[in-house]
Amino acid sequence: MMSILDKILETKREEVAHLRAQGISFDRGAPREIHSLRQKLLEGTKLGVIAEIKRRSPSKGVIQAEINPATRARVYEEAGATAISVLTDRTYFGGSIDDLRAVREAVSLPILRKDFVIDELQIDEAYAAGADVILLIAAALPNERLQTLSFYAQDLGLDVLLEVHGTHELDAALAAKPSILGINNRNLHTFEVDLGVTEQVIDALPDDVVVISESGVLGMVDAQRMAAAGARGVLVGELLMRHEDLGDVATCLTALQMAKAPVGRR
Ligand SMILES: O=C(O)c1ccccc1NCC(=O)[C@H](O)[C@H](O)COP(=O)(O)O
């Protein structure tokens, strides 16, 4: 049986084939300013929080569909977020590249295009829309493609967040020389979430790898646990998106930043 990740990747192959069949390319224009997430994480004295715009998800269904991404992004920025992650997939997450463009207009924080990147065209599209970071998922690509796409994005000046879910993916991930290694606590085949995944994987990493922990952070205690494990930052979606009231969003985000940054890792 196909897992949700398999299905998503099939949809992405169709989307890319459709763009190519239409002869669509993305004009990069003049070189633009890139806001480095890696740099911000390294400079931070507190645990970094990458706050996500996530309308719905395969595991949770609708979280909050009717939002204004620009308004929410401004709240994230004012409340001290390190960066903003925008889910641009439409079919499974209800997002779009227009959400990312709107966020780019609204804030000057680093912006992650959170999508399932399998092709250079999606990286060009991210660059043209104003993203600073792209996501690559180790489980989604053969090793050689991971490296090709990682180097392609970094040649454009973008940061690459390369996501793993277990130590068995580390050799391939590190060979692609990502700017940041993401450890996803969610299994993208089964949806099971376990914060212990970050603790396990981080132990197998050299100290100079900049790590963020993704998914399943549901409050200050979880954030502090990920910081204690050695994560420089956490990527938080649902916890923030469940709040409709923007004042509550800001309070929630401020609380997450009380966690202390890890000592002894870069
Ligand atoms: O969130 C899902 O259901 C999901 C399913 C399949 C592939 C990816 C998925 N989520 C993407 C993410 O990695 C999360 O949006 C992100 O890490 C934030 O997670 P959370 O704080 O648990 O919303």
Could you please report the per-residue DSSP string of 213-227?
A: EES---SHHHHHHHH
Region 153-160 average pLDDT: 97
Vertex 76: Cα angle to 222 and 180 (nearest 5): 60
What percentage of the chain carries pLDDT values higher than 70?
98
CATH fold, domain 44-256, is TIM Barrel (3.20.20)
Region 165-174 average pLDDT: 98
* pLDDT of residue 52 exceeding 70: yes
Substitution candidate for ligand 1 out of 215, 253, 256 with most atoms within 8 A of CB? 215
Distances (CA, A) of 43 to 38, 105, 123, 178, 261: 9, 24, 26, 18, 11
> What pLDDT band is residue 25 in, cutting at 50, 70 and 90?
confident
Active site residues: 52, 54, 114, 163, 184, 214-215
Beta strands in 69-143 (DSSP E): 83-87, 111-114, 133-137
236 alpha carbon – ligand 1 mean position (Å): 9
ipTM of the complex as predicted: 0.98
Residue in this structure with the two tokens 């960066």, named with its chain if needed = 83
185-231 confidence digits (pLDDT tens): 999 989 999 999 999 999 999 999 999 999 999 999 999 999 999 99
> What pLDDT band is residue 42 in, cutting at 50, 70 and 90?
very high
> What pLDDT band is residue 26 in, cutting at 50, 70 and 90?
confident
Q: What is the pLDDT of residue 263?
A: 60
* pLDDT of residue 249 exceeding 70: yes
In contact, 130 and 101? CB cutoff 8 Å:
yes
214 alpha carbon – ligand 1 mean position (Å): 8
30 alpha carbon – ligand 1 mean position (Å): 33
Q: Any residues with Cβ below 6 Å from ligand 1, and which?
A: 4, 52, 54, 57-60, 184, 186, 188, 214-217, 235-239
Q: What is the pLDDT of residue 27?
A: 80
pTM of the model: 0.96
Region 93-120 average pLDDT: 98
In contact, 86 and 135? CB cutoff 8 Å:
no
Ligand 1 atom at minimum distance from 57 CA: 3
Pick the residue whose CA is nearest to atom 15 on ligand 1.
237
Q: What is the pLDDT of residue 73?
A: 98
Dist. CA 257–CA 80, nearest whole Å:
8
Region 159-174 average pLDDT: 98
Q: What is the pLDDT of residue 84?
A: 98
The β-bridge relationship of strands 61-62 and 56-57 is: antiparallel
Q: Which of 31-35, 63-67, 256-260 has the lowest mean pLDDT?
A: 256-260
